[in-house]
Structure 1
Amino acid sequence: MKITFYLSLLLAGFHTVAHTQLPPSDHSGHDPNDPKHHIHHGGEAIACLKLVPSNADFAFQLFREVTQEAPNKNIFFSPVSISSAFAMLALGARSATQSQILEGLAFNITEIQEEEIHEGFQNLIHMLNHPEGGVQLNMGNAIFVTEKLKLLKKFSDDAKALYQLEAFTTDFNKPTEAEKQINDYIERKTHGKITNLVKDMDPQTVMLLASFVFFKGSWEKPFKPELTEEREFFVDAETTVKVPMMHQMGRFDFYFDEDLSCTVVRLHYNGSATAFLVLPGKGKMKRLEQTLDKETIQKWSDHLFQSSMNLYFPRFSISGSYEISNTLRKMGIVDVFTNQADLSGITGTSELKVSKVVHKACLDVDEKGTEAAAATAVEIMPVALPPTIEFSHPFLMLIFDRDTNSTLFIGKIVNPTITS
């Protein structure tokens, strides 16, 4: 019988921001796909950029699967947290188990070598942990192992070098103590945002892998709290809730996608963070969910233009907690959850399989973020009142990292008054 290998994926707290990237029409004037844009990272971005198409395909495929499983619920998760954890798991996987993991992460292993994938993730994690000013971003991995098992030196050395892995000895025979050790670690790494990630642990567990990402930042143009007012949010045809609606009048990056009947607004944060706020026309959310992909994001980015508007956007906090083993099975990652699993590159024994994959993410959006900028800018507004765009029914929020072209977070907000 296979020993249980409990794999837990953790995503960290996200406070008013997520780090960001988008394709060329970035307000800084840089083309993020231009390697010169990344000279300060010593050319690391070139390795990162090889991951971009596959990581984006994985992110949107996972989004489609999760939305099908929970069509009328808030969704918030970090694709890059999940993909980096499974890429690290592939380091210790062998034969079909390894190829299923890499192909499930949307890599074409005839076009990109395994070594290039790991090198790309190494550089991605390093760059995300050293963002440009204005944001706080931490990403990493930890493995908790019973004393009876020893990690193979090659796996331990490679995982530390490539994925910044920290390893800890844990007594899973004392599940309450084990849970506290793991949860305390994650809570500390996510600055208190993610708590109680692990609960009701199987005492047969011999190993647990945790992956986390934490982001904290502030809007480039903060909303004024005194302008926030309660307004109606239309959850569906029968349900209306009151939400604190932030308000700002100014010039914003804007695009209306006629094909998908959705309004796109891009907001910037201090540093290199950007959020795409996507408001589909009523009744159009399902089509948007089913067709959203990296080409759509690129089209939006290329067509954004500055437009004056009255923007209303809710202040809210949501979290998502998922057990995604079945979702990943649908995406082709099958053997690792069965007795056919070959994870012999981790400990030298083939008696390991993954029992559970837990992912938890949080999002807080408010007027300021963590800091208000000291500088003051005065915008000259036209005499005629600009159009009003109000996020008063379900919408998407996508957060990107410009330096690494990574989709850090994907959210679907159906009801901003429900926190989990």
Structure 2
Amino acid sequence: MKTTFYISLLLAGLHAVTYGQLSPSYHNGHDPKEPKYHMHHESVATACLKLVPNNADFAFRFFKEVTLEAPNKNIFFSPVSISTAFAMLALGARSTTQTQILEGLAFNLTEIQEKEIHEGFHNLIHMLSHPENGVQLNMGNAIFVTEKLKPLKKFLDDAEALYQLEAFTTDFSNPTEAEKQINDYIETKTHGKNTNLVKDMDPQTVMLLASFVFFKGNWEKPFKPEHTEEREFFVDDETTVKVPMMYQTGRFDFHFDEELSCTVVRLHYNGSATAFLVLPAKGRMKQLEQTLVKEIIQEWSDHLFQRLVRLYFPKFSISGSYEITNTLSKMGIVDVFTDQADLSGITGTPDLKVSKVVHKASLDVDERGTEAAAATAVEIMPMSLPPTIEFNHPFLMLIFDRDTNSTLFIGKIVNPTITS
């Protein structure tokens, strides 16, 4: 019988506090804010770049699985945090268990070596944890281990060097104290955004692996709170709710995808993060979420152009909390959750398996933020009113890091009045 341990992953807090005026259109092909999946970005280490297409493939595969499991619910998660945590777990996995984890993360092991994967994640964590220009992005990993279990020094050293792992001794036989120790750590690391993630812990737990990401971005130009007003949001044919709707008129990177019948608006944060807001026509969400792949995002990027519009976007807070063991099993990561698990690289013996994987992410969007330097700029408006884009029915919100081309967060907002 395998000893089980609990993985508490992806404690992702996203706080998007202001709204961004976009930089000039990049139809000339040289916009530095364009989130590309190309592999020649000069500012990114080669090892990090090699992960880009694989991490993106994993992100959208995971999104498809989650939307199938919860078709009419809000969804919000951090694919880069899931990938990072399981790549770290692969450090301690052996044989088929390791292969399943890495292939489940969308890596083709005939094209990339395990060593390259770990080096890539090391560079990715380093780059994401040293943001510039006002984006706060913190990533990290922690392992909580019972005193009776002695992880191998090599695993701890490698995990610390590659994944910035912190290790703590925990008394799991006292679940209340163990939960408090872990939850306090996560709450501190996510600046109070993620609380009480771990609960109902099994006193037989011997190890808990936690991975977290916290993001706080200021839009380049905020909405004005006085322009926010209550407006209707159409959840479905039967349900309408009132939401505080923010408003701004300006030039935005815009594209309409005729094939998928969706409107795409791209907004930038100060710094290295960017957001794609995607509003499908009513009745077309399912088609969009089941066909979305990285190539479609790239196509949108290539076809964006600046357009003067009146934009309405809801002010909301949501969080997603998932037990994702079954989701990952469907994606090919199977043995690690069974008695077939081989995690002998962690403890030196093969008597360990993963019992549970928990993921929690949260998102806040409101008007606040710091005005851009050109606060006195005046927008010259045409005599006739520009077209209106109102995010008043279910939409997607995708957040990328431009420096590493990483998919930080994927959200589907079905009802912005439901917080969890």
1 CA distance for matches of 2:319 and 2:35? 33
- 1:364-393 superposed Cα distances (whole Å, 9 cap, x missing partner): 001124x34453132222222100000000
Which ranges of 4 or more aligned residues in structure 1 deviate by more than 3 Å? Answer: 23-37, 371-375
The answer for the alignment partner of 2:150 in structure 1 is: 150
**2:304 is matched with which residue?**
304
Other-structure match for 1:117: 117
| Counterpart code for 1:101 | I
* Cα distance between partner residues in 1 of 2:111 and 2:16: 38
Match of 2:141 in 1: 141
The answer on 1:99 being equivalent to 2:93 is no
Tell me the CA shift for residue 65 of structure 1: 0.2
Residue 36 to residue 330, structure 1, CA distance change in 2 (3 Å): closer
How far the C-alpha of 1:30 sits from its partner, in A, is 7.2
1:383-413, Cα deviation, whole Å (9 max, x unpaired): 2210000000000000000011100000000
Aligned partner of 2:23 in structure 1 is none
Q: Within 5 Å, which residues of 2 pair with 1:3-402? A: 3-16=3-16, 27-28=31-32, 33=38, 37-38=42-43, 44-369=44-369, 371-376=370-375, 377-402=377-402
Quick one: distance in 2 between partners of 1:378 and 1:120?
A: 44
CA contact (8 A) 2:35 2:400 kept: no
> CA distance change for structure 1 residues 63 and 404 in 2, over 3 Å: closer, same or farther?
same
Question: Which amino acid in structure 2 is aligned with residue 47 of structure 1?
Answer: A
**How many angstroms does 1:36 deviate by?**
6.3
Alignment pair present for 1:417 and 2:420: no
| 1:398-409 → structure 2 map (5 Å cutoff) | 398-409=398-409
Aligned-residue sequence identity (percent) comes to: 82
Q: Does the residue aligned with 2:12 lie in a helix, a strand or coil?
A: coil
Report if aligned partners of 2:393, 2:414 keep a CA contact under 8 Å in 1.
yes
- Shift of the 250–83 alpha-carbon distance from structure 1 to 2, 3 Å rule, reads same
TM-score by length of 1: 0.95
TM-score relative to the length of structure 2? 0.95
Say if 1:339 and 1:17 are closer, same or farther in 2 by CA, change over 3 A: farther
The residue aligned with 1:41 is: none
Report the Cα offset of residue 46 of structure 1. 1.6
Q: Distance in 1 between matches of 2:132 and 2:32?
A: 13
Question: In 1, Cα distance between the equivalents of 2:173 and 2:30?
Answer: 52
Q: Higher mean Cα deviation, 24-33 or 149-158? A: 24-33
State how far apart, in whole Å, the 2-side matches of 1:299 and 1:109 are. 27
List runs of 5+ in structure 2 lacking aligned partners: 21-25
Worse overlay, 23-32 or 214-223: 23-32
Query: Secondary structure of the equivalent of 1:51?
Result: helix
CA distance in 1, matches of 2:321, 2:35: 35
CA drift of 1:10 comes to 2.6
Shift of 1:31: 8.3
Give yes or no for contact 2:103–2:109 (8 Å, CA) kept in 1: yes
Cα distance in structure 2, aligned partners of 1:262 and 1:410: 17
- In the alignment of these two chains, the number of paired residues is 411
Distance 2:33 2:92 in 1: 41
Q: In 2, distance between residues paired with 1:328 and 1:352?
A: 18
Q: Aligned AA for 1:375?
A: A
Please say if residues 219 and 268 of structure 1, whose CA atoms lie closer than 8 Å, have aligned partners that are also in contact.
yes
Instruction: Return the alpha-carbon distance in structure 2 between the equivalents of residues 96 and 31 of structure 1.
Output: 34
Q: Deviations over 1:173-215 (max 9, x none)?
A: 1110000000000000000000001000011100000000000
Amino acid at match of 2:142: A
SS of the equivalent of 2:11 reads coil
Change in 2 beyond 3 A, CA 1:26/1:318: farther
- Structure-2 separation of matches of 1:351 and 1:17: 46
Secondary structure at the counterpart of residue 111 of structure 1: coil
Q: Residues 224-270 of structure 1, C-alpha deviation per residue, up to 9 Å, x if partnerless?
A: 11000000000000000000000000000000000100000001111
**Aligned-partner Cα distance in 1 for 2:97–2:74:** 32
